[in-house]
Amino acid sequence: MGPKSKEYENPSSYKNDEDNDDDGDFVLENVMSEEDIEIETPSRNRKRVSTTRRTPSKPIRSQPLTPSSSKGAGNEPKSQNSSTTRGSAKKQSSKGLEEKLINSYGTHVESLNKGRRLIEIWKYYETAPGQSSFEGQTSSDSKLQTLLNLDGQQLLSYSENPFYLFEVKNLSISFHFESPQQVEPCQPVNPFKENPQKSGFVVNTGIPLSSVSWLPTNKETQFLAVGGMLKFSETTESVFMRTSGRNQIQLWKLENKTNFKSEFILYHDWGSVLQLEWCPTISVEDSILGFLAVVCSDGKLRVLRVPRSPVKFHVFVEQADFTFGFNDSLISCCTWVSPEHGDIHQILVGCSNGYLALWDILSSQECPLFYIPYHDSYIHNVVQCLDDFPWLFLTTAFDCYTRIFDIRDPIIDNRPLSHKRDICYTITWNNMLQSIISCSESQSVVIESLRGTSTQLLDERNGSIISLSNSKFHPFVACAASDGIVTIVNPFRLLGFSHKQKANVHRIFQLEYSEKQDSYRMLDGFRPRLPKAKKLDMYIYPWQIQVNKVEWNGNKGYAGWLASGMACGILRVEDLSAVERR
The answer to whether position 50 is within a domain reads no
The pLDDT score that the predictor gives to residue 164 is 57
The answer to whether position 65 is within a domain reads no
The answer to whether position 503 is within a domain reads yes
Q: What are phi and psi of 223, to 5 degrees?
A: -125, 140
The pLDDT score that the predictor gives to residue 72 is 41
What's at 182, amino acid-wise? Q
The pLDDT score that the predictor gives to residue 161 is 65
Burial class (CB in 10 A: 0-12, 13-18, 19+), 538: exposed
Catalogue the E-assigned strands of 56-151: 143-144
The answer to whether position 158 is within a domain reads no
The answer to whether position 368 is within a domain reads no
The answer to whether position 221 is within a domain reads no
The answer to whether position 405 is within a domain reads no
- Cα 234 from Cα 41, distance rounded (Å): 51
Q: How many residues does the chain have?
A: 582
The pLDDT score that the predictor gives to residue 36 is 45
Range list of H helices, 159-239: none
The pLDDT score that the predictor gives to residue 134 is 63
- Cα 577 from Cα 259, distance rounded (Å): 17
Report how far Cα 108 is from the mean position of its chain's Cα atoms. 26
Domain count, the chain: 1
Residue 301 in contact with residue 331, Cβ under 8 Å?
yes
Residue 215 in contact with residue 223, Cβ under 8 Å?
yes
Torsion of CA 6, 9, 15, 21, to 10 degrees: -160
- Cα 330 from Cα 244, distance rounded (Å): 13
Pairing relationship of beta strands 301-307 and 322-324 according to DSSP bridges:
antiparallel
The answer to whether position 462 is within a domain reads yes
| Mean pLDDT in consecutive groups of 10 residues from the start of the chain, 582 residues | 44 42 38 42 45 44 42 41 37 60 88 92 84 57 51 68 67 86 92 84 96 95 96 89 95 94 94 96 87 97 91 89 93 95 91 96 81 96 94 96 95 91 94 94 88 81 94 95 96 80 88 94 89 67 96 93 97 85 49
Smallest Cα–Cα separation from 479: which of 421, 431, 427, 435? 427
The whole domain housing 454 covers 109-138+170-205+420-582
The pLDDT score that the predictor gives to residue 98 is 83
Q: What is the 3-state secondary structure (H, E, C) of 545-570?
A: HCEEEEEECCCCCCCCEEEEEECCCE
- Cα 51 from Cα 259, distance rounded (Å): 61
Give the count of alpha carbons within 13 A of 335, CB side only. Answer: 23
Q: How far is CA 24 from CA 95, 117, 497, 507, 532, in A?
A: 12, 11, 10, 30, 29
Residues in CB range of 178: below 8 A, 6 or more apart? none
The pLDDT score that the predictor gives to residue 366 is 76
Burial class (CB in 10 A: 0-12, 13-18, 19+), 57: exposed
- Cα 559 from Cα 437, distance rounded (Å): 19
Q: What are phi and psi of 209, to 5 degrees?
A: -70, 140
